[in-house]
């Protein structure tokens, strides 16, 4: 049985080991993560499709070049999101001087999840809510926006967020509480 026949039965961590010897195994990892990581990059950075694809390429290049140093105590997903996060930050620093703005594009189903968690009236028209959430998220500090996106849009648990942003789980919980409070205050400030 070759790697393609076994691809669905192998865990990410097993594929990392096999990837050290086979480019084909690495391509399976790329296929598993490219859409999720691309969406994460878009949410965190508001880059154009072309620029987001460039960052995605850089992420997978760094993943490939660092496969030997993968810590198997971590989940592969946490490790790759951490690399993606660092690449987004690095890219942001490079283009910081360009006055293109920092709005975030988020699809409507994700907006509904966030709105529900903050007990915003469900009767609001989703298009208005969508615009309001964009505005509020854009007014938050990067660190608050980042943990909200990881928790509510990427659906990462505290441990994964901890691995991604390199902060203890307790700090992540505290950051999420502060981020939600900050979001709620900004929302009320703008819309009440």
| Host domain of residue 145 | 103-192
Place of tokens 């009236």: 121
Overall domain count for the chain:
2
76 and 133 housed in the same domain: no
Could you give the angle at which helices 49-65 and 76-95 cross, rounded to 10 degrees?
130
pLDDT in tens, the chain (192 residues): 466 566 678 899 988 988 888 888 899 999 999 999 999 998 888 788 999 999 999 999 999 999 999 988 889 999 999 999 999 988 888 776 554 545 555 566 666 666 565 554 444 456 666 677 778 888 889 899 889 988 888 889 999 999 999 999 999 999 999 999 999 898 888 877
Choose one of 51, 85, 102: the last residue of a domain: 102
- Residue 9 has phi, psi (to 5 degrees) of -95, -10
Which residues 6+ apart lie within 8 Å of 96 measured at CB? none
């Amino acid at each position: 049985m070759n790697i393609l026949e076994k691809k669905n039965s192998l865990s990410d961590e097993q594929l990392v080991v096999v990837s050290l010897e086979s480019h084909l195994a690495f391509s399976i990892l790329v296929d598993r993560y490219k859409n999720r990581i691309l969406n994460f990059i878009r949410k965190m950075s508001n880059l154009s499709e072309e620029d987001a694809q460039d960052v995605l390429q850089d992420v997978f290049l760094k993943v490939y070049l660092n496969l030997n140093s993968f810590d198997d105590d971590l989940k592969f997903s946490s490790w790759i999101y951490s690399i993606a996060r660092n690449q987004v930050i690095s890219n942001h620093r490079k283009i910081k001087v360009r006055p293109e703005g920092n709005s975030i594009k988020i699809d409507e189903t994700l907006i509904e999840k966030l709105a529900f968690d903050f007990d915003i009236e469900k009767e609001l028209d989703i298009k208005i809510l969508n615009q309001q959430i964009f505005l509020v998220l854009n007014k938050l500090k990067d660190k608050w926006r980042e943990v909200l996106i990881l928790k509510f849009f990427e659906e990462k648990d505290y441990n994964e967020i901890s691995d991604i942003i390199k902060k203890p789980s307790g700090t992540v919980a505290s950051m999420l509480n502060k981020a939600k409070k900050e979001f709620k205050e900004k929302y009320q400030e703008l819309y009440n």
